[in-house]
């Protein structure tokens, strides 16, 4: 029988906690074994052209990259550079993935949920192949998940966040924004949550100031290298691509300088493809595509103002792809994986950047290959897609309903999840990879509501038997 004790809650009340964490061990031990199997099943970390090599190059030279990626993830890679091993990067990230699951468990236990509910909320993070593939890849997504989950834990650990906790959460969210700019709006969400809860203004101010300082410092560093006070140089190009699926220049009537960015008859199957298609109107302009970032932003904002319902329709339609029963390829050239693939993934050796990164970061960088017999075991592992897509819809609905309760804990994680889910679609396009950071937050938001529903069903059954 599990020992139970009572301890004072910070608000003065007594809550019951269990000294044992059997439910956590039931999920944590197989999650560790699964990650060991992934490390054995592939001979190196997954490297993507061109994202992974841009991150690694920035880690070597410590300068802000000019187009898509801020340098936050590269700072993490810089810390590991003395070891000169991308395999070590994957190993550390697998440990961080386990840490996310443990943070979810710890936070929900802090909210007085039973062990089974807290452990169940961590299951998608610990067992969904989408998370493990990100952990095994040199990509920034996992770092965003870790930082945002940590910020949520710090901010909601006590019923009322202290000034110190608010400032710490602000720094963590700023670092998440410097890892992926899609996380920057989360700072405003957290500040608004504090205001809704009628938190003293000093705490909201602490969060905003603590978040603004690193963002401003980075923007100043970026300006030194690229002559523009910003975090990246691609936000306008991304938003322009978003409008290419619905822009009608006969309605918009752009000025002559922007008219060259109107749709020119080139058609792709996803908004993001317009950034790279050689015949899209942006890429027919002289110079590098990102040199027209400001012009593209001005055009895109003009289109959205003239066609707001069309813009909303496209965002809703693409976001709905996250909830399908079967995965939808979007764009069609990218096939979503539902498990662990087998095969070999060679690098495009003709690119000079690969050789430079190999010389300066890890001489053993190579294309990834699966390793038998471990790869066959991984290939047999099945995590049903409905537990990734439709389940996410259920979690968001449950979390949203729970967030309507007065002073609900679910409001902040649910809001963060929605912004992470919809924000990338609104700014550029849908990608299955961009859905993953919203899942842990959706699990945290839904857990209290699901626990209440289960408890209500048990009480009803008990009363029926009585």
For 215-262, how does the pLDDT look when each residue is reduced to its tens digit (9 = 90+)? 999 999 999 999 899 999 999 999 999 999 999 999 999 999 999 999
Would you list the DSSP string of 32-60? Answer: HHHHHHHHHHBSS-B--TTHHHHHHHHHH
Domain span at 184 = 21-227+335-392
pLDDT per residue as tens digits for the range 400-444: 998 887 667 899 999 999 999 999 999 999 999 999 999 999 999
Indicate if 74 and 200 belong to the same structural domain.
yes
Q: Would you state the pLDDT for residue 18?
A: 43
Indicate if 62 and 109 belong to the same structural domain.
yes
Indicate if 314 and 294 belong to the same structural domain.
yes
CB-based contacts of 143: which residues, under 8 Å, 6+ apart?
72, 73, 76, 96, 176, 179
3-state secondary structure of 248: coil
Indicate if 218 and 310 belong to the same structural domain.
no
Last residue of a domain, one of 392, 413, 440: 392
In a domain, 400, yes or no: no
Dmax over Cα atoms in the chain, in whole Å? 79
In a domain, 428, yes or no: no
Q: Would you state the pLDDT for residue 65?
A: 83
Indicate if 287 and 378 belong to the same structural domain.
no
Mean pLDDT of 159-186: 96
Last residue of a domain, one of 318, 347, 362: 318
In a domain, 323, yes or no: no
Indicate if 40 and 120 belong to the same structural domain.
yes
Mean pLDDT of 35-41: 98
Task: Extract the runs of DSSP E, i.e. beta strands, from 96-252.
Answer: none
Average per-residue pLDDT in the chain?
92
In a domain, 273, yes or no: yes
Indicate if 62 and 185 belong to the same structural domain.
yes
Indicate if 303 and 345 belong to the same structural domain.
no
pLDDT per residue as tens digits for the range 111-130: 989 999 999 999 999 999 99
pLDDT per residue as tens digits for the range 137-160: 999 999 999 999 999 999 999 999
Indicate if 135 and 59 belong to the same structural domain.
yes
Indicate if 212 and 354 belong to the same structural domain.
yes
Q: Would you state the pLDDT for residue 93?
A: 98
Domain count, the chain: 2
Indicate if 246 and 221 belong to the same structural domain.
no
Q: Would you state the pLDDT for residue 20?
A: 63
Beta-sheet pairing, 344-345 with 14-18: unpaired
Mean pLDDT of 8-37: 73
Residue 264 has pLDDT above 70, yes or no: yes
Last residue of a domain, one of 268, 288, 318: 318
Indicate if 159 and 278 belong to the same structural domain.
no
């Amino acid at each position: 029988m599990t020992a139970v004790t009572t301890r004072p809650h910070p608000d003065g009340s007594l809550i019951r906690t269990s000294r044992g964490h059997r439910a956590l061990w039931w999920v944590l031990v197989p999650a560790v074994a699964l990650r060991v199997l992934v490390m054995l099943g592939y001979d190196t970390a997954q490297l993507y052209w061109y994202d992974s090599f841009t991150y690694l190059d920035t880690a070597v030279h410590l300068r802000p990259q000019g187009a898509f990626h801020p340098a936050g993830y590269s700072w993490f890679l810089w810390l590991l550079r003395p070891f000169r091993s991308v395999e070590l990067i994957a190993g550390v990230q697998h440990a961080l993935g386990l840490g996310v699951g443990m943070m979810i468990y710890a936070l929900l236990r802090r909210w007085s949920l039973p062990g089974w509910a807290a452990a169940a909320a961590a299951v998608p993070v610990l067992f969904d192949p989408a998370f493990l593939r990100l952990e095994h890849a040199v990509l920034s997504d996992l770092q965003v998940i870790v930082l945002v989950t940590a910020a949520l834990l710090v901010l909601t650990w006590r019923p009322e966040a202290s000034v110190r906790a608010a400032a710490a959460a602000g720094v963590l969210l700023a670092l998440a924004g410097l890892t992926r700019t899609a996380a920057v709006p989360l700072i405003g969400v957290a500040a608004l949550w504090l205001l809704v809860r009628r938190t003293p203004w000093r705490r909201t101010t602490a969060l905003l100031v603590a978040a603004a300082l690193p963002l401003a410092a980075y923007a100043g560093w970026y300006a030194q290298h690229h002559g523009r006070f910003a975090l990246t140089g691609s936000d306008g190009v991304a938003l322009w691509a978003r409008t290419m699926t619905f822009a009608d220049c006969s309605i918009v009537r752009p000025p002559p300088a922007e008219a060259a960015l109107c749709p020119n008859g080139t058609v792709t199957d996803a908004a993001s493809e317009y950034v790279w298609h050689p015949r899209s109107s942006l890429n027919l302009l002289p110079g590098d595509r990102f040199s027209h970032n400001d012009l593209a932003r001005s055009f895109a904002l003009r289109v959205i103002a003239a066609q707001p319902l069309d813009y909303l329709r496209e965002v809703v339609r693409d976001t709905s792809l996250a909830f399908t029963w079967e995965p939808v390829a979007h764009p069609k050239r990218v096939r979503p994986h539902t498990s662990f693939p087998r095969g070999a993934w060679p690098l495009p050796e003709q690119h000079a950047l690969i050789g430079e990164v190999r010389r300066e970061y890890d001489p053993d960088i190579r294309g990834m290959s699966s390793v038998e017999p471990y790869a066959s075991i991984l290939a047999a592992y099945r995590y049903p897609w409905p537990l990734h897509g439709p389940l996410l819809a259920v979690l968001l609905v449950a979390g949203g309903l729970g967030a309507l309760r007065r002073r609900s804990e679910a409001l902040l994680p649910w809001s963060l999840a929605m912004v992470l889910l919809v924000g990338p679609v609104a700014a550029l396009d849908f990608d299955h990879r961009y859905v993953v950071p919203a899942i842990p937050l959706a699990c945290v938001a839904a857990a209290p509501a699901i626990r209440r529903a289960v408890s209500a069903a048990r009480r009803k059954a008990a009363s029926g038997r009585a």
